[in-house]
Structure 1
Amino acid sequence: MHRKHRKNEDPFTCVMEMIRRTGEILEFDKRFPGAKMVERIAISDKIIRFKSIIPRDDGGVGVFQCYRVQQSDTLGPYKGGTRLHPSVNMDEVKALATLMTLKTSLVDVPFGGGKGGICVDPKGLSVMELERLIRRYVNQIKDDLGPDEDIPAPDVNSGPREMAWIYDEYRNYSESARGVVTGKPLELGGSLGRLQATGYGVALITERFCYGNKLVNPAISIEGFGNVGQFAAMKLSEMGFRVIAVSDSGGCVVNQTGLNITRLLAYKREKGQVADFPDAKPLGNILEAPMDIHIPCALGHSINGENVDQLGSNLKLIVEGANSPVSSQAEKILEGKGVTLVPDILANAGGVIVSYYEWVQNREGLYWSEDEVLGRMNGKMIAAYDRVVNYAEEKKLFLRQAAYCLSMEKIARAINYRGSQ
């Protein structure tokens, strides 16, 4: 469901305020006098807004609002997913593109940040109509894409199939097409490990926190059971963790002793939702589950000022599997209660890390094993997490602020080296 945000609570405003505050902490104005460093980090390089018109199967036409934001190429080519959702709007895409810039910097991936979106409910289109829309979208921005320019990837409601269409359409206009998009099917140059990378990374960060904080047998809830939520649940279960509650758009189920994730995944594939799963009880609101750790993997601001108090008193950790799932107001309340929050630009970075590995394999003609891909990803995720935690402890900051500081410091240094012209 599309959420209307108050002006000071919409994701773009929240990200911009965080960047401004981080610039003050890092004393950019003092260290880089006259350079306007905060503005150079915050303002997008290029915003592409257009409409796509396609023929419908019934003989009519469909008209769709489309976006591609190229936020920053300071550290490398623009990189970011292509979101298909009826709530997509300009501010959301700008916010997500900015988060990608910060994310790639934080985890030492040599990409910049970007994001694409189409305001559409893909469930309302036939497969042929959706393919026409994706191909039309690519045709209209083809001059702005490229393996060294701007590299799309999967996002909400887009996956390997849609990336294959992007790749195939772009091939009509360029000979060097394979690295233009990541998250492709394996047969078209995709990477082993890419499909599960984001969810596995979320699980890895959760495990790292529990190990460092001696948290034994925590009760875990997962909000949103799409790609990220499913693979996070699967990996956590393999690690021996107890996932007690899961929700999707159709409902929520809970089992205090732990859900059988293998059976739940099979049930979800068969029924299309988790509601009425036989080995669990229904729960009206997942925020009310008796959890120690909550992993939101749905859309932005699913936890906000209006519902944050529904979270139980046992909550110790939130790991942001989605982008911007916790509003600024909710975050302040959680911080006041002593809840640790691992921010999105760290927690869900596994996807862009493995996207980078896919791009490298495409460029070099390599084909890494799944163990090699995920092993490399694990190393990057753990290194980034440890850097953020150590910096937060040293500077007495919350983890999100520490992550922004580390990310923006790297970007600012790169901008400074590149000069003012």
Structure 2
Amino acid sequence: MSYVDSVLEELIKKDAPQKEFIQAVTEVLNSIRPVIDSNSHFKEMGLLERIVEPERVLMFRVPWMDDNKKVRVNRGFRVQFNSAIGPYKGGLRFHPSVNLSIIKFLGFEQIFKNSLTGMPIGGGKGGADFDPKGKSDHEIMVFCQSFMTELFHHIGPDTDVPAGDIGVGSREIGYLYGQYKRLTNRFHGVLTGKGLTYGGSLARTQATGYGVIYFAEEMLKIKNDSIKNKKIIISGSGNVAIYAAEKAAALDGKVIALSDSTGWIYDKEGIDLETVKKIKLVNHSRLRDYISIHKNAEYHRGKGIWSIPCDIALPCATQNELDAKDASNLIKNGVKMVVEGANMPITIEAIQLLQSEGILYAPGKAANAGGVATSALEMSQNSIRTSWTFYEVDTRLRHIMSSIHEHTYDAAEAYGHKGNYLVGANIAGFLKVAEAMMEQGIV
């Protein structure tokens, strides 16, 4: 039995119920086999056994009182997965689906994503099974303060720097930071995604979405092509999806569909992004409101967005949202490129199908790394007590995404998988972390 297979077999025995985590590890380890098979020293040093095991897992209760004076209790998590190349870095997710498996999968992916940015940041992730939807600002503040009352013991600017994720936006970051400052009497860059008045970075809100398009544009350049005139469908309607659509439109692409948790809209004339921003970012409403303004557009409940013919598909919502059936529909309808804007939004079977048909495919750990890269830029600005202009941050972001593409493409070619961005991203991200771990001994 190969080293990779033995590690996977043992991990499945120990963590079988953690399906998302097993899926993420399986995808990474299978794709880095060329590296593992060519270096016996990794096995001698137990590298894979160490890299799939978090350095630290924190799980804690979060008690809080709602507006009706009822005491509620949620479960909080922080997985500090790997600090070989820098302090733990990764978002906090507040969503009812949050459990240990999801946080571990996200933290594991974060190791390699952060490595690809070229910034000195390790991998971590956290969150709670708390749903901010339908809660008052006061309830969210009380919850965030309770969550931070435990978390603050375990984080710091040189230890672990959380950020936002699903359910954790600028409002939540503000409440979390305020409580951290209150408990520690320190004002420093312990969280990213902060407001601009207290240490946040310009372009952070746009960074993940912009980065997805910058990466896609680099992929197309290899083919002597561009975003221009391409029909694009994007799942989701949060910051990633909205700002991916904004940057695609700026490059003369045509976004024709977006979705949210209840359904999706299709506008063959091209999505009016200002309307979407007002609906989602100002009114915090549902996309179905779009058709009351744009009468020629269509609204459909439930899934189905991947049935629309397009040139480029960008899954930007959540994990495993695009399965083999969806991939078949995309292929049948002539898709040329699929780029992940969310974390692990495509099932392994769907990825294999896309690749077998020669469809350009990029994994999230490469394509959506713009968000964490800009978070690291925010950390840098906090460290030197300064702030950069939007143009400066965006220029750095574009350079980082171009560099990620270059390293990913070159790694795939070097190990005999030219054009396979999944293999290239995993190998390029893994090698930097592996070298650091080997040099630091068995820790």
- One-letter code aligned to 2:342: A
SS in 2 for 1:244: strand
1:272 aligned to 2:281? no
- One-letter code aligned to 1:280: A
SS in 2 for 1:367: coil
Say whether the 8 Å CA contact 2:18–2:100 is kept in structure 1.
Answer: no
Identify if the C-alpha distance between structure 1 residues 56 and 258 changes in structure 2 by more than 3 Å, giving closer, same or farther: closer
- One-letter code aligned to 1:414: A
Matched ranges for 1:324-339 at <5 A: 324-339=344-359
**Superposed displacement of residue 160, structure 1:** 1.3
Separation (CA, whole Å) in 1 of partners of 2:283 and 2:142 = 28
Matched ranges for 1:171-320 at <5 A: 171-215=181-225, 217-268=229-280, 269-270=282-283, 272-275=285-288, 276-277=290-291, 278=294, 279-283=296-300, 285-313=304-332, 314-320=334-340
Separation (CA, whole Å) in 2 of partners of 1:62 and 1:227 = 29
Say whether the 8 Å CA contact 1:82–1:116 is kept in structure 2.
Answer: yes
CA offset digits 1:199-227 (Å, max 9, x no partner): 11112112222332234522100000111
**Superposed displacement of residue 307, structure 1:** 3.8
Instruction: Give the TM-score taking structure 1 as reference length.
Output: 0.94
Question: Residue 393 of structure 2 corresponds to which residue in structure 1?
Answer: 373
CA offset digits 1:124-175 (Å, max 9, x no partner): 4221111111111111122111111111101001111111112111112334
Separation (CA, whole Å) in 2 of partners of 1:288 and 1:9 = 30
Identify if the C-alpha distance between structure 1 residues 126 and 267 changes in structure 2 by more than 3 Å, giving closer, same or farther: closer
Which region of structure 1 is more displaced relative to structure 2, 249-258 or 156-165? 249-258
**Superposed displacement of residue 105, structure 1:** 0.6
- One-letter code aligned to 1:10: K
Identify if the C-alpha distance between structure 1 residues 306 and 242 changes in structure 2 by more than 3 Å, giving closer, same or farther: closer
Say whether the 8 Å CA contact 2:249–2:255 is kept in structure 1.
Answer: yes
**Superposed displacement of residue 396, structure 1:** 3.4
Matched ranges for 1:154-165 at <5 A: 154-165=164-175
**Superposed displacement of residue 312, structure 1:** 4.3
Q: How many residues align?
A: 415
Choose the corresponding residue for 1:342, options 338, 359, 362. 362
Identify if the C-alpha distance between structure 1 residues 305 and 167 changes in structure 2 by more than 3 Å, giving closer, same or farther: same
* Structure 1: 5+ residue stretches without partners: 1-6
Separation (CA, whole Å) in 2 of partners of 1:281 and 1:27 = 49
Identify if the C-alpha distance between structure 1 residues 42 and 183 changes in structure 2 by more than 3 Å, giving closer, same or farther: same
Separation (CA, whole Å) in 2 of partners of 1:307 and 1:10 = 21
- One-letter code aligned to 1:226: G
* Structure 2: 5+ residue stretches without partners: 1-15
Identify if the C-alpha distance between structure 1 residues 19 and 250 changes in structure 2 by more than 3 Å, giving closer, same or farther: closer
The Cα RMSD (Å) is: 1.9
Question: Residue 110 of structure 2 corresponds to which residue in structure 1?
Answer: 100
Instruction: Give the TM-score taking structure 2 as reference length.
Output: 0.89
- One-letter code aligned to 1:335: Q
- One-letter code aligned to 2:327: V
Identify if the C-alpha distance between structure 1 residues 56 and 274 changes in structure 2 by more than 3 Å, giving closer, same or farther: closer
Separation (CA, whole Å) in 2 of partners of 1:257 and 1:172 = 50
CA offset digits 1:236-267 (Å, max 9, x no partner): 11111111111112322223342232344334
